[in-house]
Amino acid sequence: MKKLRYIIAISAIFVVSSCNDELDTENLSEKSLDNFYKTPTDINEAMAGVYNAIYTVNVHSEEQVAANLMDNMMFGGGGPDDKSAKWVDNFEDPAEDTYRDMWKQSYNGISRANAIIEKASLADFSKHFNTPQEAEDFKKQAVGEALFMRAFFYFRLAKFFGGVPMIIKYDGDRLVARSTYTETFAQIASDLKLAIETMPATPFPSIPTSRYGHANKWVAEAYLGRVFLFYTGYMSNIEKKATTDLPLVGGGSLTGAQVAAYLDDCINNSGHKLASDFRNLWAYSYVNKSAGKNVLPWATTEGLAWVGQDGVTPTFGTGNYETMFVQRFSFGDWGWTNGNIYTNRLALFNSLRGNSLVPFGEGWGWCTVNPKLYSGWDDADPRKRGSILEVGRADQGTDGYAKDKGDHETGYFNKKYTSLQHDNGKGSNVGMFVQMYAWSNADMQLMHAQDFIFMRFADVLLMHSEITKTADGMNAVRLRAHLGPVAYSLDNIKTERLHELAFEGIHWFDLVRWGDVDTAFNDVIQVRNSGVDANYSVKYRTETKGLVPIPEAEVRLLNGVYNQNPGW
């Protein structure tokens, strides 16, 4: 069965309280900052706690769900009772603490990363390894990985909330005001730069499969490109303060040329590369083999073969060289505390509402796809039908689709992250992943074990082209889609990123950093709302500057220390 390595609850790690004279004795029964972080096992358990902070209870606090709902290429969808999805899609706040779980979990992850950075740097791991070099490499990886994760969480906060409080010590003051946007990104950039300089340069696939999805030097280099583009774009196009460099703590900065050099290193030395077929990245390309029958004729005809989720494995042959950093998902159980947060809720919430078909199963019908994307996409590009699920088509397995089950119906859904199922041989349709991993609970809400990809190699190539204003990376991505080369232009980059990265939680942030968000929501789209024809349009408010509100509970808790974002 699939192992979830990153979501182990670290209940044994306690926040250290101050000692008094009566209790000034060695703690022999509990793990603490004084007696923990001393062995590789300690570090691995603590790192699992850092990754655990990616997961949130409130679905609106999941980065990929929130970003897709705000994207102009996806609508709120759902049913009449899914008001919160519609409100978020229309840039209204459905509750005063809609994004509080994102805020809280990000700071939980930051705090846990701070502890590893501070304690692992001082630990002696030599007796746990055969050679001093192995011990040193382990320490460097641990510290560098924690630095990356601290940057990851601060970047997540900054993309959604803007400048946020900087807490970079485990026992640092929590009651601090928000830093400026520039100060926040300076910390993110400095952490990524140090992470790159610290972690060993072990190429993929030499990294063991047990560390699949973990951050490494190459992931940090890729994220530095993403951070550079977002910061310089946001400052130039939203704040109207033209900026070409990414600031560092202490007054230095990184130029575009320096960031491009990091991406060059990733491209040339990481071992990552593009999958042979874009569609092989997505789990639907495996459902035929999993089902043992011709469930998707076009997938068989075109020879699709899923590259899998776990690097190089015997099951999937050459394995997945393109995926670089993921949020791992497994299953869940209603008897567990928050038993559904470890199943991929993007797949659940984005799937067909009120329709349980084969191989595309039922979900809540959020994030229906804007028909403008489908109609404006060249049919010759295999990514079009590799990304968008069309209803009412026998070759897609959707000819039995019963329409008018939800709102904002357009006839198009997210195919990359969707519910997958097939006959289990006993006359019941059961989730593909449930059958693959022999999980006992086949509940349709808990069966989505598809990893969410935060970073893949195609994005590295596209970012390199955008930063260097050259076409090589962009055309490598186009070549994989059997499309001819084009000259570099920002418009071509925008189109290529939209088509390559659709529904991956990235396009919304592209709209913001390019300044296109101000004009992206002028269309009136014809939809079906529970069987009734309707026109749908979104009212984006430019005064929000692409940010969401600071949770009101946090604002009240600190009693005036935080100022609310404009427009909220």
Closest by Cα among 366, 332, 384, 380 to 498: 384
b/e 484-495 (16+ beta carbons within 10 angstroms → b) = eeeebeeebbbb
pLDDT of residue 16: 32
Residue type, 224: L
Tens digits of per-residue pLDDT, 37-78? 999 999 999 999 999 999 999 999 999 999 999 999 999 999
Q: Is the pLDDT of residue 251 over 60?
A: yes
pLDDT (tens digit per residue) in 387-398: 999 999 999 999
The DSSP element (H or E) to which 456 belongs, if any, is: strand 452-456
Mapping DSSP to helix (H, G, I), strand (E, B) and coil, where does residue 314 land? coil
Q: How far apart are CA 532 and CA 239, in angstroms?
A: 41
- How is residue 420 annotated by DSSP? B
Yes or no: say if 520 and 540 are a contact pair by the CB < 8 Å rule. yes
Instruction: Retrieve residue 246's tokens.
Output: 């990414």
**What Å distances lie between residue 388 and 322, 410, 451, 502, CA to CA?**
21, 11, 18, 9
Look at residue 406 and tell me whether its pLDDT is greater than 70. yes
The distance from CA 206 to its chain's CA centroid, rounded to whole angstroms, is 24
Q: How far apart (Å, rounded) are the C-alpha atoms in residues 371 and 350?
A: 16
3-state DSSP assignment of residue 71: coil
| pLDDT higher than 90, residue 419 | yes
Whole-number pLDDT of residue 315: 72
Q: What is the DSSP string of 178-200?
A: PPPHHHHHHHHHHHHHHHHHHS-
**CA atoms in the 13 A half-sphere facing the CB of 433:** 31
Is the pLDDT at 313 greater than 80? The verdict is no
Instruction: Report, as an integer, the average pLDDT of 272-299.
Output: 93
What lies within 8 Å, CB to CB, of 195 at 6+ separation is: 144, 145, 147, 148, 151, 215, 217, 220
- How far CA 405 is from CA of 355, 528, 530, 532, in Å, comes to 8, 9, 6, 11
Q: How confident is the model at residue 30 (pLDDT cuts 50, 70, 90)?
A: low
Predicted confidence band at 428 (pLDDT cuts at 50, 70, 90)?
Answer: very high
Which tops the pLDDT comparison, 205 or 267?
Answer: 267
The answer on pLDDT for 383 being more than 90 is yes
Average pLDDT of the chain, as a whole number: 92
Q: Tokens standing for 552?
A: 């009101």
Rounded to a whole number, what is the distance in angstroms from the first to the last CA of the chain?
A: 45
Q: Which two tokens stand for residue 565?
A: 């974002």
Answer with the residue of higher pLDDT: 196 or 290. 196
Distances (CA, A) of 529 to 75, 390, 532: 12, 18, 5
Degrees, nearest 5: CA angle 261-462-232 = 65
| Residue 546 amino acid letter | G
Q: What is the pLDDT of residue 314?
A: 62
Average pLDDT over residues 438-444: 93
Residue 207 has pLDDT above 90, yes or no: no
pLDDT confidence band for 529 (50 / 70 / 90): very high
pLDDT at 483 over 60: yes
Looking at residue 31, what is its pLDDT?
A: 65
Q: Would you state the pLDDT for residue 317?
A: 65
- Give the residue carrying structure tokens 């601090």: 176
pLDDT of residue 10 exceeding 70, the answer is: no
Contact call for residues 228 and 234 (beta carbons, < 8 A): no
Handedness of CA 141, 146, 152, 154 (dihedral sign): negative
pTM (two decimals): 0.94
**Three-state SS sequence of 98-145:** CCHHHHHHHHHHHHHHHHHHHHHCCCCCHHHCCCHHHHHHHHHHHHHH
The yes-or-no verdict on residue 412 having pLDDT over 60 is yes
Buried b / exposed e along 110-145 (16+ C-beta atoms within 10 A): bbbbbbbbbbbeebebeeeeeeeeebebbbbbbbbb
Q: Which helix (H) or strand (E) holds 455?
A: strand 452-456
Least confident of 43-57, 110-124, 550-564: 550-564
Query: Is residue 392 within 8 Å of 411, Cβ to Cβ?
Result: yes
CA distances from 505 to 196, 294, 417, 510 (A): 25, 31, 11, 10
Phi-psi region at 410: left, alpha or beta (left = phi > 0; alpha = psi -120 to 50): alpha
User: Which of these, 275, 285, 145, 283, lies nearest to 207 by C-alpha position?
Assistant: 145
User: Quick one: average pLDDT of 490-505?
Assistant: 98
Cβ-based burial of 545 (10 A; exposed 0-12, middle 13-18, buried ≥19):
middle
pLDDT at 7: 39
Helix (H, G, I), strand (E, B) or coil at 352: strand
